[in-house]
Amino acid sequence: MGTSLHQNICDKLRFSKLYEKYAQSLSNILFYKYGELLNPSDKVQDAFITLWENCAKVKPEAAKSYLYTVANNMMLNEVKHQKIILKHQQIKPKDYTNESPEFVLRKKEFLKRYETALSNLKEEERVAFLLSKVDGKTHKEIADLLGITKKVAEHRIYAAFNKLKEQLEELKRK
């Protein structure tokens, strides 16, 4: 059978040859077996990372089997994880609260007025405001996303907030 391609897996050159030889076929197998949603390419990368971390423990002739086993086990773990997520998504939240009916009604009315006030904003103000307050983006991140300066982003956010305060008395400071 000749000499093994991999005398020592911990050698970077031999490890990269091992990667070149098995990565694509392993990715294809995982893709065909489990589909794209579970990110088979990521699992292949993780399997190679695990092999690198354990390169001294894995015999060269067992490397292929090790990789395929580790990657397959990672995919099986991901399948289990997705099942748990699905199970928790199906659990219905409790349909009662400790809030008074008056509070629930006021909250619904406020949300309706808030949505109306948001829809009355200029689009660029609304987008900047929601990116800041809902998505938690910084002024710099908003500026980069929208292709504007940081000062313009700040102006849009504050303008939106001031317009919302005018329309919603709950936002006014007392």
| Chain segment 66-107, per-residue pLDDT in tens | 999 999 999 999 888 888 888 887 777 666 667 788 888 888
Handedness of CA 39, 74, 30, 84 (dihedral sign): negative
The reply to whether 16 and 77 lie within a common domain is: yes
Residue at a domain's end among 63, 90, 117 = 90
| Chain segment 16-44, per-residue pLDDT in tens | 989 999 999 888 888 888 878 888 899 99
From CA 75, how far away is CA 78, in angstroms rounded? 5
Which residues, 6+ apart, have CB-to-CB distance to 113 below 8 Å?
Answer: 167, 168
Q: What is the pLDDT of residue 85?
A: 85
Q: What is the pLDDT of residue 173?
A: 64
Q: What is the mean pLDDT of the chain?
A: 85
The reply to whether 86 and 105 lie within a common domain is: no
Q: Quickly state the pLDDT bin for 4 (edges 50, 70, 90).
A: very low
Q: Look at residue 127 and tell me if it is in a domain.
A: yes
Averaged pLDDT, 110-127 = 88
Residue at a domain's end among 90, 125, 158 = 90
pLDDT: is 83 or 150 the higher one? Answer: 150
Range of the domain at 79: 12-90
Which three-class secondary structure state does DSSP give residue 84?
helix
